[in-house]
Amino acid sequence: MMLANKYMWAFGVFAVSNLALMMFAAVITTYMAPAAAGSGIPEVKAYLNGIDAPEIFSFRTLVVKIVGCIAAVSSSLHVGKAGPMLHTTACIASLLAHTGSHKYGLTWRWLRYFKNDRDRRDLVTCGAGAGIAAAFRAPIGGVLFVLESLSSRWRSALLWRAFFTTAVVAVVLRAFIDFCRSGKCGLFGKGGLIMFDVTADNVSYRLSDIPPVIILGVIGGILGSFYNFLLDKVLRIYTIIHEKNRAFKLLLAICGSIFTSCCLFGLPWLASCRPCPGGISEACPSIGRSGNFKKFQCAPDHYNDLASLFFNTNDDTVRNLYSAGTENAFNKYSILLFFVTSYFLGILSYGLVAPSGLFMPVILTGATYGRLIGMLMGSKSTLDHGLFAVLGSASLLSGSMRMTVSVCVILLELTNNLLLLPLVMLVVLISKTVADCFNLGIYEMLLRLKGFPFLQGHAEPYMRQLTVSDVVTGPLQVLNCVEKVGNIVHILETTGHNGFPVIGEPPFSQIQVLYGLILRSHLLVLLRKKYFLSSRFSARANVFDQFSADDFAKCGSDRHDGIGDIVLTAEEMEMFIDLHPFTNTSPYTVVETMSLAKAHMLFREVSLRHLLVIPKFPSSAPVVGILTRHDFMPQHVTNLHPFWMRGRNKLFQFRNSTVINMFRGLWL
């Protein structure tokens, strides 16, 4: 249609097909699996920290994520596919760990060994690594990304397992690419195992090239943190709109899609046509296929450079920007316009209700930014503009996502240019240090926005001044070793706690002592199985006859652990349960005078869910309180002790001084 000068028709078809795809993605996300919206990386990160957000690993989310991501990326929306791919593979791993989906009858008995928190978490970690490895065809980068940005705990055995997983990914990918070499799988095999090969580029740089690279790093850091800042603001506005009504979500998606279509189609008109360069093997202008030189509205033997950037797959655009010897292919203003559009479209598109990733927009925007810097440097630098584009991607990635080693390795595996490594490392370090002065990394920001109680690796400085007894709150719910059924039901109904201290009392022990800790889920199993005693001292049945280990195994995401569906008669309510055999008799404990920071370390390093606080000196109550993840949240602590806030603000001002921050970025 463009060739036949039917421009309005062309725009109509383009916009309508985009809108249809986008609506499809938005509708299935909104009505079938709202948890599938966004990239999913924050949710996986939260899960690996110990937070079970509802539905994030369900079978329905998996299906919507896959289908929705394909639709959203196809709809020309400025979003990536790496994040959703990571979520998809993590989802598959989690479903495997739950011995498949019970709801859909897909279960495997041998997988039951994974049916516990630790092994499931390990499996999800490996799955997430596989996702990144597949998205970037970067097996080592995948492992490192998970290690650096996602995982909260790490064991050396896990490194080896994650590595095994990504090795399988690499071998399978390689086999598929071989199979698809002759072009029978569409765009898939393109680029081989290395997506943006720039080996051919001659990397020779001198000392005089270092200052431009440093400038690139500094500005990249600022742009990256500004990206996070804007994204935060936009997402807050979107959240307000989304909370009003489901229809508003769809309306926002429609607006986003139409706006994107207008930008993509409208902006290339601003660029002037350029004559085709001589002596190239490619057809120019390229018509009817995914090529580098788009004709758009130009005369024969001319091309529109902005259209070449806009009307390509993201992968192809990045490949064009990275390639060497193309200094004159693009106009300075075209690149600037594309950079600005890409920067803001990326921010506006992410929050729309569809599966969408952040990686590709950031890589693309960064590549444009790098090219721009290269063009502005002009003859002051001998570095190729393609290499500037690679450095720009590195700088924006580390400025917004604050990754270091993983960015370097992923870019190394994407571009296959080892000689560039020292420069990439330099840029990454500068960008991260600069960006850390301003705000948090993008994933931490998204975690806060979603309100997950994410437990940081280190305690806040003011926590050293507080003791655990300062943050213990609320009336403590305790159970006796032999407890009345009615009491247990009442406590389960009125509180949401997941663990309860069990007290040994006369006649089972001489004085009141802390016997142990029992979990809510185990109490529910006991109630459901009606393991009751008629009186406090009647004979106990053999536990092993009535229960097997499977009964207490962690249940899957399609859980039925409500207290509501257990029906008990009034008679049963008067009976007793002997909790002795089901109590964890050696829970981790701390004395009430321990500093909060120290307890935080124990809680975090040993991955606890409950930590019992015992009195320093023997008193009437053998247990003072129970600490959970929420008690360590800075917000909770500062709410309880508002006077600390002042000191904290002072500290914050201190921390904002740049020099201190650079030091802090390195050593804290």
* Interactions with its own copies, residue window 388-447 (CB under 8 A): 404-405, 408-409, 412-413, 416, 418-419, 421-422, 425-426, 429, 432
CB of 45 to its own copies, least distance (A): 12
CB of 150 to its own copies, least distance (A): 10
Q: How far apart are CA 323 and CA 196, in angstroms?
A: 8
CB of 612 to its own copies, least distance (A): 11
Pure H helices in 99-199: 117-136, 139-145, 156-179
Question: 251-288 burial, b if ≥16 CB within 10 A, otherwise e?
Answer: ebbeebbeebbebbbebbeebebbebeeeeeeebbbee
Cβ nearer to its own copies, comparing 378 with 618: 618
Q: Which stretch binds its own copies (CB under 8 A): 32-40, 347-355, 517-525, 616-624?
A: 616-624
Cβ nearer to its own copies, comparing 376 with 601: 601
CB of 627 to its own copies, least distance (A): 14
Q: How far apart are CA 587 and CA 478, in angstroms?
A: 14
Give 297's contacts (C-beta < 8 A, 6+ positions apart): 2, 7, 268, 269, 273, 304
Cβ nearer to its own copies, comparing 111 with 563: 111
* Residues 522/498, Cβ–Cβ less than 8 Å: no
Q: How far apart are CA 467 and CA 472, in angstroms?
A: 9
Query: How far is the CA of 194 from the CAs of 89, 265, 489, in angstroms?
Result: 21, 31, 60
Cβ nearer to its own copies, comparing 225 with 368: 225
For its own copies, which residue of 96, 489, 602, 621 counts as binding (CB under 8 A)?
Answer: 602
Asked if the bond preceding 285 is cis, omega within 30° of 0, the reply is yes
Cβ nearer to its own copies, comparing 27 with 140: 140
Question: Binding to its own copies by residue 232, rule CB under 8 A?
Answer: no
Question: Binding to its own copies by residue 81, rule CB under 8 A?
Answer: no
CB of 526 to its own copies, least distance (A): 22
Question: Binding to its own copies by residue 193, rule CB under 8 A?
Answer: yes
* Total of residues contacting its own copies (CB under 8 A): 71
Q: How far apart are CA 501 and CA 491, in angstroms?
A: 12
CB of 418 to its own copies, least distance (A): 5
Cβ nearer to its own copies, comparing 355 with 587: 587
Structure-block tokens of residue 663: 């030091």
Question: Binding to its own copies by residue 108, rule CB under 8 A?
Answer: no
Asked if the bond preceding 422 is cis, omega within 30° of 0, the reply is no
Q: Which residues within the stretch 316-345 sit at the binding site for its own copies (CB under 8 A)?
A: none
Distance, C-alpha 566 to centroid of its chain = 37
Q: Which stretch binds its own copies (CB under 8 A): 339-347, 491-499, 566-574, 611-619?
A: 611-619
* Binding flags for its own copies, 497-536, as an x/- string (CB under 8 A): ------------xxx-x-----------------------
Q: How far apart are CA 627 and CA 640, in angstroms?
A: 14
CB atoms within 10 A of CB 460: 19
Question: Binding to its own copies by residue 199, rule CB under 8 A?
Answer: yes
Q: Which residues within the stretch 237-296 sit at the binding site for its own copies (CB under 8 A)?
A: none
Q: Which stretch binds its own copies (CB under 8 A): 4-12, 160-168, 249-257, 537-545?
A: 160-168
* Binding flags for its own copies, 442-471, as an x/- string (CB under 8 A): ---------------xx-------------
Q: Which residues within the stretch 13-42 sit at the binding site for its own copies (CB under 8 A)?
A: none
For its own copies, which residue of 1, 262, 287, 668 counts as binding (CB under 8 A)?
Answer: 668
* Residues 228/400, Cβ–Cβ less than 8 Å: yes
Q: Residue 263: which of 320, 306, 316 has the closest Cα? A: 306
Question: Binding to its own copies by residue 139, rule CB under 8 A?
Answer: yes
Task: Identify the bridge partners of residue 274 per DSSP, sorted by sequence position.
Answer: 303
What single-letter amino acid sits at 408? C
For its own copies, which residue of 9, 31, 104, 154 counts as binding (CB under 8 A)?
Answer: 154
Q: Are strands 513-519 and 499-504 parallel, antiparallel or unpaired?
A: antiparallel
CB of 617 to its own copies, least distance (A): 6
Cβ nearer to its own copies, comparing 405 with 440: 405
Helix (H, G, I), strand (E, B) or coil at 538: coil
Q: How far apart are CA 463 and CA 632, in angstroms?
A: 9
Task: Identify the bridge partners of residue 355 per DSSP, sorted by sequence position.
Answer: 38
Structure-block tokens of residue 503: 């007290």
Q: Which stretch binds its own copies (CB under 8 A): 90-98, 149-157, 354-362, 482-490?
A: 149-157
